Each structure stands twice: as C-alpha cells, then as structure tokens.
Amino acid sequence: MPKLFSYGTLQQKNVQLANFGRELAGCQDILPGYVVGEIAITDPRVLRESGKAIHPILRFTGNSIDEVPGTVFELTDDELARADDYEVDAYVRVSACLKSGTECWIYAAAPDSR
C-alpha cells in the first residue's frame, strides 16, 4: 500500500471523511530538507472540505537541518488518486524519504507555484 506523508489539511478528520470515506490511522514522522510555506486556496471544493483559505505547502530547501513534522498514512491506490484530486495545481506529488527511513509520497510546491 502506498504511504503518504501529510503535514496539513489531509490530517483533518473532516477532510479524510470527505475524500476517503474513513478516518485514517497514521504515525508521526519528520520530513527533512523542506520548510512549510503558505498558499491561498480558491478552489470551492477544497475550501468547503478543509474550511481554510490558507493551506500549508512544502518548499524544498535541501538543507537537512530543515524539518517538517507530520503524519504518515497508508492508503489504497484509489485513495491516493483521490488525494491527488483533492490537491490543487500548486502542489505536485513527489517521493521522499522520511527521517525514520520510510519511503513515501508527499505533496510539495509545484515548480511554478509561489
């Protein structure tokens, strides 16, 4: 099963229920080499489901001292596709290695997002 590291709204129970039809169980971990920025959300569906107009967004620094705490979830392939549908175009799904050594997917800033 794919693993997804969440540092933002995908950790919210209401967002999980809206997108996956269930609450996810996960474990805490840390993503090195990134910092968290902010992005304004205008997509009506995402605004409705998250209840937030400003979302966090990962920005790659490559500096191992930079770390982002979050939660790792195991998803089905279908649930991962639903997570892709939830994320707006400012995010891109990329693979990453967490501090624990876990290989997972993350949603980070797309190259052209600010």
Kindly report, residue by residue over 58-81, the tens digit of the pLDDT: 999 999 999 999 999 999 999 999
- d(Cα 1, Cα 55) in Å, to the nearest integer? 26
- Tokens 């997509």 locate to 43
- d(Cα 22, Cα 109) in Å, to the nearest integer? 26
- d(Cα 77, Cα 8) in Å, to the nearest integer? 20
- Domains in the chain (CATH in brackets) are 3-109 (3.10.490.10)
Give 9-56 pLDDT, tens digit per residue: 999 999 999 999 999 999 999 999 999 999 999 999 999 999 999 999
- d(Cα 102, Cα 5) in Å, to the nearest integer? 10
0.95 exceeded by pTM: no
Per the CB < 8 A criterion, the answer to whether 67 and 4 are in contact is: no
